């Protein structure tokens, strides 16, 4: 699994220290993406903090932070003494994401005939998300 | 004279109001910094900013003209053996005895360090591809750097002190150096002090960063906090401007016409009502922060 993880870096941009995004956040996104695309599977072990830091040439603290946050989000489990493992419950998430993608596709197919611009579709989506988030009704005026 | 309990709680390196002149020039001007145990401390600055002078004080090569320098709680000038035995030092183009063979140099170096790990040294020698019977004088620049790195690491020093080690070296050797930094700090309680003008390397591995400019410390803090504070904000005006807009407290303002980029330390500036729209806001790289901080002050 581990060699696949490193080979996978050719498909994703390498961690970029100069970016405005902190390295530990980039690492979290990288792990999530690897899970979503099936590169790492449920129950599999992630590299040790030391190993990953040495291979990616980043400070071990960065890896620790990323692993802690991933554990907090319920994506990995830190087993004391043995290492970091992807949670078993993560597999349904990968399938869930695939299903959700299908829903988005059919929604966009349905909207074809409405002839909306991309920005208009995006605004509709954000509006609905905001309604759910704030619990308030927000109506945008469409000229 | 500090006692052992005080030494245990203070950082690995504690520098207070250090100043030094070379003739009329102030090479260091009231510099104070603390290197906590167990992290990577990055020191950046342009050539001539005072980085090497500072490091020579840490090694005890210079006695403090004014201010104090403590390493592991002791004065490196008055306790050289105690202090240097716990430091692994590598500089740009290390000064190695040309006439010695690699294995002789390693035997010679080993004699100075009670904690030398011969097995680890052999592992590194093999990894670096250094022929034990080769004379130092025939080694390439990169091989010399690797030999210096080996000698600095093999005794597993409490403080790995690197002064611009990567200058002019190929990416493979630079990788070996970064790996040495990470291996050191992965071990409990060991510390790295790493000076470089290659900001991408500093940015990868540092916990704390200090910036020297013309002998003064212009920035010092955790890398995460420094990066979080500095923002690059792009603003767009309705009309073209012939001169940069005045933004009080901004580190730098660049651009042309209608679109301008304001570089600021967000703790010090509120974007006033300029009559412009904010079109983008981003974090900044250490390189941008460095340039803006330094040019803003000169």
pTM summary value: 0.81
| Chain A residues inside the 8 Å CB shell of B227 | 20, 22
Which residue in the set B186, B227, B286 is minimally distant from A22, CB to CB?
B227
Whether residue A74 lies within 8 A of chain B, CB to CB, comes out as no
Give the pLDDT score at A129. 87
Both tokens of B208, joined, read: 């704390």
A66 touches chain B (CB under 8 A): no
Q: Do the strands B208-213 and B25-35 form a parallel or antiparallel pair, or are they unpaired?
A: unpaired
Q: Do A20 and B232 touch (CB under 8 A)?
A: yes
Q: What span, in angstroms and rounded, lies between the C-alpha atoms of B185 and B38?
A: 6
Tokens coding B282: 């981003």
Residue A102 touches chain B, beta carbons under 8 Å:
no
Question: By C-alpha distance, which of B212, B210, B284 is closest to B42?
Answer: B210
Residue B18 token pair = 């250090």
Contact between A57 and B205 using a beta-carbon 8 Å cutoff: yes
> Which residues from chain B sit within 8 angstroms of residue A25, using beta carbons?
none
Q: Do B285 and A20 touch (CB under 8 A)?
A: yes
Assess contact for B128 and B176: CB atoms under 8 A. Answer: yes
Q: What angle do CA B32, B199, A69 make, to 5 degrees?
A: 90
pLDDT for A141: 40
For chain A, counts of helices (H) and of strands (E): 6, 2
Crossing angle between the packed helical segments B141-153 and B102-110, to the nearest 10 degrees: 30
For residue B18, the model assigns a pLDDT of 97
- B283 CB within 8 Å of a chain A CB: yes
Q: In b/e form, how buried is each residue of B9-29, taking b as 16+ CB within 10 angstroms?
A: ebbbbbbeebebeeeeeebbb
Residue of B nearest to A16 (CA): B204
Please tell me the distance from the alpha carbon of residue B33 to that of residue B44, in angstroms, as a whole number. 13
B204 vs A50, A54, A57: nearest CB: A57
Per the listing, tokens 């001169």 go with B243
User: Residue A2 carries which DSSP code?
Assistant: H
Secondary structure (3-state) at A108 = helix
The answer to whether residue A61 neighbours chain B at the CB level (below 8 Å) is yes
CA–CA separation, B265 vs B249, rounded Å? 8
Of B28, B27, B283, give the one whose Cα is nearest residue A22. B283
Strands of chain B (E only): list them.
Answer: 13-22, 25-35, 40-44, 66-71, 87-91, 159-163, 191-195, 208-213, 216-222, 230-241, 252-265, 276-283
pLDDT 10s per residue in chain B (298 long)? 444 444 445 689 999 999 999 998 999 999 999 999 999 999 999 888 899 999 999 999 999 999 999 999 999 999 999 999 999 999 998 889 999 999 999 999 999 999 999 999 999 999 999 999 999 999 999 999 999 999 999 999 999 999 999 888 998 899 999 999 999 999 988 999 999 988 889 999 999 999 999 999 999 999 988 988 888 888 888 888 888 888 877 888 888 888 988 888 875 556 667 778 888 888 888 888 888 888 865 3
Does the beta-carbon distance from B182 to A17 stay under 8 Å?
Answer: no
The partner residue sitting opposite A58, judged by closest CB among B199, B204, B285, is B204
Residues of B in contact with A66 (CB under 8 A): none
Q: What are phi and psi of B101, to 5 degrees?
A: -85, 160
Partner residue opposite A50 with nearest CB, options B186, B199, B203: B186
Instruction: Give bridge partners of residue B276 from the DSSP assignment.
Output: B237
pLDDT under 50 in chain A at which residues? 1-2, 4, 7-13, 137-143
Owner of token pair 């010679």: B108
To the nearest whole angstrom, how far is the Cα of B97 from the nearest Cα of chain A? Answer: 31
Integer Cα distance of B47 and B103 in angstroms? 34
Name the token pair of B13.
């390196």
Helix (H) or strand (E) holding B110: helix B102-110
Computed from CA positions of residues B179, B182, B188, B191, in that sequence, does the dihedral angle turn out positive or negative?
positive
B286 touches chain A (CB under 8 A): yes
Query: How far is residue A66's CA from residue A74's CA, in Å, rounded to a whole number?
Result: 12
Identify the CA nearest to B152 among candidates B101, B87, B206: B87
Minimal Cβ distance to B182: which of A17, A18, A53: A53
Cα torsion through B111, B114, B115, B116, rounded to 10: 10
């Amino acid at each position: 699994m581990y060699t696949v993880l490193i080979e996978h870096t050719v498909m994703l941009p390498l961690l970029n220290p100069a970016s405005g995004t902190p390295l530990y956040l980039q690492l979290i996104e990288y792990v999530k993406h690897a899970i979503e695309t099936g590169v790492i599977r449920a129950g599999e072990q992630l590299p040790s903090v030391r190993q990953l830091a040495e291979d990616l040439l980043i400070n071990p603290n960065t890896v620790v932070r990323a692993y802690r946050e991933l554990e907090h989000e319920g994506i990995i489990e830190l087993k004391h003494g043995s290492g970091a493992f992807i949670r078993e419950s993560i597999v349904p998430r990968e399938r869930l994401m695939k299903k959700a993608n299908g829903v988005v596709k059919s929604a966009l197919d349905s909207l074809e005939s409405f002839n909306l611009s991309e920005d208009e579709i995006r605004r509709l989506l954000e509006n609905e998300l905001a309604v759910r988030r704030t619990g308030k009704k927000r109506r945008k005026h469409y000229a | 004279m500090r006692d052992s309990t005080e030494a245990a709680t203070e950082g690995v390196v504690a520098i207070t109001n250090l100043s030094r002149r070379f003739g009329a020039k102030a090479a260091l001007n009231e510099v104070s910094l603390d290197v906590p145990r167990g992290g990577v401390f990055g020191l950046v600055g342009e050539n001539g900013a005072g980085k090497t002078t500072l490091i020579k004080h840490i090694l005890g090569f210079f006695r403090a003209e004014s201010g104090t320098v403590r390493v592991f709680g002791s004065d490196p000038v008055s306790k050289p053996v105690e202090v240097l035995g716990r430091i692994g030092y590598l500089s740009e183009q290390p000064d190695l005895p040309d006439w010695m063979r690699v294995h002789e140099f390693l035997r010679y170096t080993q004699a100075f360090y009670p904690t030398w790990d011969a097995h680890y040294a052999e592992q590194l020698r093999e990894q670096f591809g250094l022929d034990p019977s080769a004379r130092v004088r025939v080694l390439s620049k990169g091989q010399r750097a690797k030999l210096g790195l080996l000698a600095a690491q093999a005794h597993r020093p409490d403080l790995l002190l690197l002064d611009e080690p990567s200058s002019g070296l190929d990416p493979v050797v630079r990788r070996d150096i970064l790996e040495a930094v990470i291996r050191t700090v992965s071990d409990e309680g060991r510390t790295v002090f790493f000076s470089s003008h290659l900001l991408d390397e500093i940015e990868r591995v540092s916990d704390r960063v200090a910036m020297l400019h013309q002998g003064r410390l212009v920035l010092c803090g955790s890398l995460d906090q420094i990066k979080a504070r500095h923002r690059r904000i792009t603003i767009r005006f309705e009309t073209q401007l012939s001169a940069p807009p005045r933004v009080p407290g901004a580190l730098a303002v660049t651009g042309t016409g209608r679109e301008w980029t304001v570089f600021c330390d967000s703790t010090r500036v509120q974007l006033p009502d300029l009559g412009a729209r904010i079109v983008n806001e981003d974090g900044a790289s250490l390189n941008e922060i460095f340039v803006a901080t330094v040019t803003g002050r000169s």
